[in-house]
Copies of this chain bind each other. A is one copy, B any other.
Amino acid sequence: MEKTLKEILNLNRKYTNYGQVASYIPELKNAKRDDLGICIIDKDNNIYKAGNCDTKFTIQSISKPIVLAMALMDNDWSYVFSKVGMEPSGDPFNSIMKLETNDSKKPSNPMINAGAIVTTSLIKGASVEEKEERMLKFFRKLANNDTLDINYEVYKSEKTTGDRNRAMAYLLKNDGFVQGNVEEILDLYFKQCSIEVDVVDLARIGINLAMYGVNIENNERLLSERVSRMVKTFMITCGMYDSSGEFAIKVGIPAKSGVGGGIMASVPNSMGIGVYGPALDKKGNSIAGVKVLEELSHRYKLNIF
């Protein structure tokens, strides 16, 4: 299978030329535009890799489904969904408009920034430190990797340039969707986005979601079946920014992308996939990564519909 993966990467590497590396902070700008890597972990724990598999990158928005899972484990579901909606928005990830035009003013879903700030605010902990510790621990569990950590340079840059997220957070506070100290919530949000991973970590997270929350390496239950299904559902309806619909049509696999260049995909009861390709399309998705997943879905009949 690794031969096929290599072939797929080679076929699609050309698309990296049509994308741009994220440049809103200097740290992301340094990524190599034509890097491309993939890792697949199947339900028998076979691990297949090809391309740039050791490159570290920040998880960015791929943290959103994970923090959503935590919020759903830390709180009553009805409480969570009183603060964040379940509907795809059709708007860019950083859009503010619907916070004003929506009847409820509630963020549409937990995969856009406004909704993700809400789920971050719902993580439990007696102190800021405890929240951060619990969050990092959960990410490490899901990735089955104790060395996962925050890239503090990225975190500091995100914090400095994060005025649009800051605007959203204050609006959410004003409208009662987040409580407490806005800067502390944003701090945790910027930290979750700055966790460094590689494609193996993403594939592991993917297979753990695919197997309904049970770690196939040690049989540990990391999250409930119901929560694992909810997370994958949000990945299908809103996981790929405002081209989620197109990705669902063309690829048909629950997936979440981040502007660091990663995509984490999860084929229910079958496999987890991590892809890395930092050249992004205009919506913020890895341009070659999407093509690789489309090819993979067709060759291995992974489309869930």
- Which residues of A are interface residues toward B (Cβ below 8 A)? 85-91, 95-101, 108-109, 163-164, 166-171, 173-174, 182, 229-230, 232-234, 236-238, 242-246, 248-249, 252, 254, 268, 303-305
Given contacts A88-B237, A108-B245, 20 further A-B pairs with CB under 8 A are A85-B245, A86-B243, A90-B98, A96-B97, A96-B100, A96-B171, A101-B101, A163-B170, A163-B171, A163-B182, A164-B170, A167-B167, A167-B171, A229-B303, A232-B305, A234-B245, A234-B249, A237-B245, A304-B304, A304-B305
Interface centre among A87, A108, A168, A234 (most CB of B within 10 A): A87
A168 — which chain B residues lie within 8 A by C-beta?
Answer: 167
* A226 CA / B110 CA spacing, docked (Å): 30
A-B pairs with beta carbons under 8 Å apart, 11 shown: A86-B243, A87-B244, A88-B89, A88-B90, A88-B237, A97-B101, A164-B171, A167-B168, A236-B236, A237-B248, A268-B304
Closest chain-B Cβ to A194's Cβ sits at a distance in Å of 19
A164 — which chain B residues lie within 8 A by C-beta?
Answer: 170-171, 174
Main secondary structure of the interface of A (DSSP, over half): helix
A90 — which chain B residues lie within 8 A by C-beta?
Answer: 87-91, 98, 108
* A268 CA / B249 CA spacing, docked (Å): 15
Contact for A246 among B87, B232, B243, B304, CB less than 8 A: B87
What 4 A-B pairs come out closest when comparing CB atoms?
A88-B88, A163-B174, A87-B245, A167-B170
Interface centre among A166, A173, A268 (most CB of B within 10 A): A166
* A101 CA / B108 CA spacing, docked (Å): 18
A100 — which chain B residues lie within 8 A by C-beta?
Answer: 95-97
Q: Are A252 and B229 in contact (CB under 8 A)?
A: yes
